[in-house]
A = this chain, B = another copy of it.
């Protein structure tokens, strides 16, 4: 990218929190699919490629969403919040599965009468999603 192209990256408040929260929302249904993290490089790569790239806190490396599963997220829109430290992505979820458990979304549990109740079915056996 040229110098001027990185201006939008400079406007994110990385200094206070090197990782910002990124919410992925299905661009059609409006369902919140997952919440992940981005550092500056992840956001730059997301914009450059048009597909969601996060920072994996557990693996401590860039995580190209769908790199193993094929369940990539095509990014339709990116929004930044008032404090410049949170993002919302409108995505097209390839395969219809965002969660590593094989469900549509990671938020598959709802609080009902003081208990977390699973409301979403497993659409695909994770064993068949992740071969490695």
Chain A interfacial positions (CB closer than 8 Å to B): 4-5, 7-8, 11, 21, 23, 25, 29-32, 34-35, 47, 77-83, 86, 88, 99-101, 103, 106-111, 114-116
**Is A115 within 8 A of B8, CB to CB?**
yes
**Is B79 within 8 A of A110, CB to CB?**
yes
6 A-B residue contacts at CB 8 Å? A23-B35, A35-B88, A81-B108, A82-B99, A82-B103, A86-B107
In the complex, chain B residues whose CB is within 8 Å of the CB of A83: 106
In the complex, chain B residues whose CB is within 8 Å of the CB of A88: 32, 35, 107
Copies of this subunit: 2
**Is A8 within 8 A of B116, CB to CB?**
yes
**Is B11 within 8 A of A116, CB to CB?**
yes
Instruction: Report the Cα distance A107→B32, complex, angstroms.
Output: 15
Instruction: Report the Cα distance A101→B81, complex, angstroms.
Output: 11
**Is B106 within 8 A of A86, CB to CB?**
yes
- Distance from A127 Cβ to chain B, minimum over Cβ atoms (Å): 16
- Distance from A74 Cβ to chain B, minimum over Cβ atoms (Å): 15
